[in-house]
Chains A and B, each alone.
Chain A
Amino acid sequence: GDSVTQMEGPVTLSEEAFLTINCTYTATGYPSLFWYVQYPGEGLQLLLKATKADDKGSNKGFEATYRKETTSFHLEKGSVQVSDSAVYFCALSDLRTSYDKVIFGPGTSLSVIP
């Protein structure tokens, strides 16, 4: 079945450092890919998405490119801030093979220190 793998956390970075959180997926079809962010005490919220190969999603300085050849959707940000401290979830959705669910990765906790 479809699955999502993320790099293990927690990740601790200094402010203004470069961030990469790796995400790879397994899917039989052509899924849409998402990054969700969960700030402390809150629910998940959509950070960015990409719907087809080579699409780049971007939001709040974060970017991720849908790479079909490497089945990856790595999250990047050039300069992190303390306010980016959160848990980040990679996810996929493919209505054609699994209409009933979104597949989430285990989440990567990020702490940014001043």
Chain B
Amino acid sequence: EAQVTQNPRYLITVTGKKLTVTCSQNMNHEYMSWYRQDPGLGLRQIYYSMNVEVTDKGDVPEGYKVSRKEKRNFPLILESPSPNQTSLYFCASSSGEENNSPLHFGNGTRLTVT
């Protein structure tokens, strides 16, 4: 089954404790992206990647890192989480080859930083 898999689904951590949210897709997609979803602010893009070893900042990259060493994986790294990073995070991918290539989303990771 074609899918984007994020782990974990829920994560509670404390300020400053490094964490990684994993994202994997099995559709051989070149484009991958991370979003955060907050009430009243909608979806905001954090980072994106157009191919292996190619990553770039989205609208809200501060406090986050990503890597794209393999085509299928695109982990999101919070080196020193802070309470304002409490949010619902989504990973997404698409083939990116055409204007009408839709995004495929994971089921989300709900992060709470205390």
Please indicate the chain B residues that have their CB under 8 angstroms from the CB of A51 in the complex. Answer: 99-100
> How many residues of chain B are within 8 Å of chain A by beta carbon?
25
Contact of B105 among A43, A105, A106 (CB under 8 A): A43
Residue B102 is within 8 A (CB to CB) of chain A in the complex: yes
Contact with A along B41-85 (1 / 0, CB 8 A): 111010010100000101000000000000000000000000000
Question: How many residues in A have their beta carbons less than 8 Å from beta carbons of B?
Answer: 25
- Chain A residues in 8 Å Cβ range of B100: 32, 49, 51, 93
Please determine whether A101 and B48 come into contact, CB atoms closer than 8 angstroms: yes
Closest chain B CB from A51 CB (angstroms): 4
Beta-carbon nearest neighbor of B91 in chain A: A43
Closest Cβ–Cβ distance, residue B16 to chain A (whole Å): 28
Which B residues touch A96, using CB under 8 A?
Answer: 99
Consensus secondary structure, chain A interface:
loop
**Are A42 and B48 also in contact (CB < 8 A) when A31-B99, A51-B100 are?**
no
A31 to B56, CA, bound (A): 22
Residues of A within 8 A of B50 (CB): 99-100
Whether A104 touches B33, Cβ cut-off 8 Å, given contacts A43-B90, A93-B100, A95-B98, is no
Assess whether A86 is interfacial by the CB under 8 Å rule: no
Chain A residues close to B by CB (< 8 Å):
31-32, 34, 36, 41-46, 49, 51, 89, 93-96, 99-102, 104-107
